[in-house]
């Protein structure tokens, strides 16, 4: 006889399988006995499933929940804003929360970025930034510029423009081809394919110079923008040198190419500074942001633009930026995002990301000494990757029967950790994490890797 709790769980399981499209997951996997994970509650760095089992949210959801789960003060802000004003036509009017949020962002973002266009997701922010870059040139009578340079290994979203600048072989672009014309992919800071820096001894300045030559080859006068994360998360959190970004900034400026920094993950303290571009002393022309802008308490994203780009849209009616979005600058989302930024600021969470992140980095590095399959640990702030190989010395990868893609997430789950894992484990906890919680997190990872090593007979 099932008890009520089991009944409820089974009912949710059945209805989820029938009606809910769990994003990116394979139905056949979800339909296996423990294939579907339900999250019901959250508090601080922890999430709880329907049976009350607690997990460390080692990914901050999806690099989102900077201020931690269960912040009631943001609920109160939402309630107050809804009772005052839930919606006003963003195509035509401004609202106080949107103005307050934009003003706050002007304080926090690099000094040249002072105007903000609000949208609803990171993909939409990327899409909007690409459109803005193109229209900026068009407005300046430079309509030959249609190409966008992006980097291999990058991820920028799922709308057709964002999808087209993605540079990840993991993301299957094939079903959606033909994609946006004029997208040129250049190697990332650590090389690509078999020509990786660690194998060849090349460094990121080699790839910066390669990018320069590729830009010349493409004819710079046809290029509208260069888009990249300052520190590419999807490409494994390799932290580039200051010189790399200085060089890219110099060549984009020389050729009149707008630099779009995609800080959808990097932004708002994830890397230990408010914005990752600050690590390199480089100011982009456009800056995309989402995720930690609201810590997930409301769907909101934005494109910030430099004074120069904003100026390109000032003039006659036809110079105005073409196209808006109904939910853009939603007053409730803006009020929540502002409340979230105030928490980030008052609790000094970007600073905590830097200092606690340094501790996390040291603890993760120790895993390399203790575990033969840990080939590398990398990262900055609270954004880290642990790379795994069957034999790091020979470069031997895991065998299909090792089943790492399924076993590693499961073993982490058994150790009380929710993360993205396969032959790389992503470690990006909420920015409110403290040292004791880091110890608990690293102990769990340590345990999961150890069990996996025993399972595949490597120790
Ligand atoms: C760097 C980057 N840009 C854009 C996106 C797309 O954001 P969204 O999933 O909100 O559309 C993501 C999503 O993870 C991202 O990591």
Instruction: Express each pLDDT in 259-290 by its tens digit.
Output: 999 999 999 999 999 999 999 999 999 999 99
Report how far residue 318's alpha carbon sits from residue 313's, in angstroms, rounded to the nearest whole number. 9
Q: Residue 6: what pLDDT?
A: 76
Does pLDDT of 42 surpass 60?
yes
Atom of ligand 1 nearest to the CA of 63: 14
Q: Residue 213: what pLDDT?
A: 98
From the list 410, 390, 413, 414, the residue with the least C-alpha distance to 400 is 390
Do both 155 and 167 map to the same domain? yes
Instruction: Express each pLDDT in 401-435 by its tens digit.
Output: 999 999 999 999 999 999 999 999 999 999 999 99
Average pLDDT over residues 52-56: 96
Contact 277 CB / ligand 1 (< 6 Å): no
Do both 100 and 239 map to the same domain? yes
Contact between 342 and 352 (Cβ < 8 Å):
no
Q: Residue 8: what pLDDT?
A: 85
Instruction: Express each pLDDT in 176-190 by its tens digit.
Output: 889 999 999 999 999
Q: How many Cβ atoms are within 10 Å of 3's Cβ, its own excluded?
A: 8
Do both 265 and 144 map to the same domain? yes
Contact 290 CB / ligand 1 (< 6 Å): yes
Q: Residue 1: what pLDDT?
A: 45
Residue count of the chain: 459
Report how far residue 247's alpha carbon sits from residue 249's, in angstroms, rounded to the nearest whole number. 5
Q: Residue 173: what pLDDT?
A: 79
Contact 264 CB / ligand 1 (< 6 Å): yes
From the list 403, 399, 384, 392, the residue with the least C-alpha distance to 368 is 392
Do both 318 and 430 map to the same domain? no
**CATH code, domain carrying 420:** 3.90.1150.10
Do both 177 and 285 map to the same domain? yes
Average pLDDT over residues 77-90: 98
Do both 5 and 135 map to the same domain? no
Contact between 334 and 297 (Cβ < 8 Å):
no
Instruction: Count how many domains the chain has.
Output: 3
Q: What percentage of residues in the chain have a pLDDT greater than 70?
A: 98
Contact 262 CB / ligand 1 (< 6 Å): yes
Does pLDDT of 174 surpass 90?
no
Q: Residue 9: what pLDDT?
A: 86
Distance 235 CA to ligand 1 centre (A): 13
Instruction: Express each pLDDT in 66-79 by its tens digit.
Output: 999 999 999 999 99
Do both 230 and 265 map to the same domain? yes
Average pLDDT over residues 149-177: 88
Q: Residue 459: what pLDDT?
A: 80
List the Cα angle 427/433/118 in 5-degree steps.
Answer: 75
Boundaries of domain holding 420: 45-67+350-456
Does pLDDT of 2 surpass 60?
no
Average pLDDT over residues 74-86: 98
Distance 420 CA to ligand 1 centre (A): 15
Contact between 356 and 269 (Cβ < 8 Å):
no
Contact 297 CB / ligand 1 (< 6 Å): no
Distance 64 CA to ligand 1 centre (A): 10
pTM over the 0.85 mark: yes
Do both 9 and 123 map to the same domain? no
Average pLDDT over residues 137-155: 96
Do both 396 and 418 map to the same domain? yes
Q: Which of 290, 294, 327 to mutate to test the pocket of ligand 1 (most atoms within 8 A of CB)?
A: 290
Average pLDDT over residues 81-103: 98
Kind plus residue range of the DSSP H or E element containing 175: none
Q: Residue 7: what pLDDT?
A: 79
Q: How many CA atoms lie within 13 A of 153 on its CB side?
A: 18
| Long-range CB contacts for residues 160-165, cutoff 8 Å, separation at least 24 | 160/127, 161/126, 161/127, 161/130, 161/131, 162/122, 162/123, 162/126, 162/127, 162/130, 165/126, 165/130, 165/227
Distance 458 CA to ligand 1 centre (A): 36
Does pLDDT of 169 surpass 70?
no
The per-residue pLDDT of the chain, averaged, comes to 96
Q: Residue 171: what pLDDT?
A: 63
Average pLDDT over residues 127-137: 98
Do both 95 and 216 map to the same domain? yes
Distance 403 CA to ligand 1 centre (A): 28
Distances (CA, A) of 106 to 49, 263, 327: 39, 15, 21
**CATH code, domain carrying 251:** 3.40.640.10
Give 208 or 6, the one with higher predicted confidence.
208
Does pLDDT of 3 surpass 80?
no
Contact 296 CB / ligand 1 (< 6 Å): no
Do both 227 and 257 map to the same domain? yes
- Phi-psi map region of 157: left, alpha, beta (phi>0 left; psi -120 to 50 alpha): left
Report how far residue 450's alpha carbon sits from residue 459's, in angstroms, rounded to the nearest whole number. 8
Contact 123 CB / ligand 1 (< 6 Å): yes
The last residue of a domain, from among 281, 313, 346:
346
Average pLDDT over residues 309-317: 97
Average pLDDT over residues 213-242: 96
Do both 100 and 176 map to the same domain? yes
Q: How many Cβ atoms are within 10 Å of 198's Cβ, its own excluded?
A: 12
Non-local (6+) Cβ contacts of 293 within 8 A are 267, 268, 300, 301, 302, 337, 340, 341
From the list 397, 451, 445, the residue with the least C-alpha distance to 421 is 445
Distance 65 CA to ligand 1 centre (A): 14
The last residue of a domain, from among 296, 329, 346:
346
């Amino acid at each position: 006889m099932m008890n009520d709790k089991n009944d409820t769980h089974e009912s949710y399981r059945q209805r989820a399988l029938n009606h809910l499209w769990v994003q990116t997951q394979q139905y056949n996997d979800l339909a296996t006995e423990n294939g579907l994970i339900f999250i019901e509650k959250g508090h601080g760095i922890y999430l709880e499933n329907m049976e009350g089992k607690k997990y460390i949210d080692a990914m901050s959801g999806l690099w989102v929940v900077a201020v931690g789960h269960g912040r009631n003060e943001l609920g109160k802000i939402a309630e107050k804003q809804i009772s005052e004003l839930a919606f006003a036509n963003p195509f035509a009017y401004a609202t106080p929360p949107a103005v307050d949020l934009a003003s706050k962002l002007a304080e926090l973002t690099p000094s040249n970025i002072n105007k903000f266009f609000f949208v609803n997701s990171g993909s939409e922010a990327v899409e909007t930034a690409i459109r803005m870059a193109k229209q900026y040139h068009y407005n300046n009578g430079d309509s030959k510029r249609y190409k966008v340079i992006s980097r291999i290994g990058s991820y920028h979203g799922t709308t057709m423009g964002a999808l087209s600048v993605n540079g990840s072989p993991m993301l299957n672009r094939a079903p959606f081809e033909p994609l946006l014309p004029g997208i040129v992919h250049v190697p990332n800071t650590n090389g690509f394919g078999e020509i990786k820096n660690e194998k060849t001894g090349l460094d990121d300045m080699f790839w910066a110079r390669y990018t320069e030559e590729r830009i010349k080859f493409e004819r710079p006068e046809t290029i509208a923008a260069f888009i990249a994360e300052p520190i590419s998360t999807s490409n494994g959190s390799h932290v580039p040198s200051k010189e790399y970004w200085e060089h890219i900034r110099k060549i984009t400026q020389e050729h009149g190419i707008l630099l779009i920094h995609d800080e959808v993950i990097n932004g708002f303290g994830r890397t230990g500074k408010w914005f990752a571009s600050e690590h390199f002393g480089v100011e982009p022309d456009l800056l995309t942001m989402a995720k930690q802008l609201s810590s997930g308490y409301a769907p909101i994203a934005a494109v910030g633009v430099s004074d120069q780009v904003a100026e390109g849209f000032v003039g006659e009616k036809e110079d105005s930026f073409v196209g808006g979005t109904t939910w853009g600058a939603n007053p409730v989302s803006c009020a929540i995002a502002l409340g979230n930024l105030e928490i980030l600021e008052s609790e000094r969470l970007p600073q905590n990301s830097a200092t606690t992140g340094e501790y996390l980095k040291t603890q993760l590095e120790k895993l390399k000494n203790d575990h033969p399959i840990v080939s590398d640990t990398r990262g900055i702030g609270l954004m880290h990757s642990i790379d795994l190989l069957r034999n790091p010395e020979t470069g031997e990868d895991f065998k299909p029967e090792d089943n790492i893609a399924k076993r590693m997430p499961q073993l982490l789950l058994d150790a009380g950790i929710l993360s993205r894992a396969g032959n790389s484990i992503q470690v990006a906890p909420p920015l409110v994490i403290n040292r004791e919680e880091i110890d608990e997190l690293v102990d769990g990872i340590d345990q999961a890797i150890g069990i996996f090593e025993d399972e595949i007979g490597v120790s």
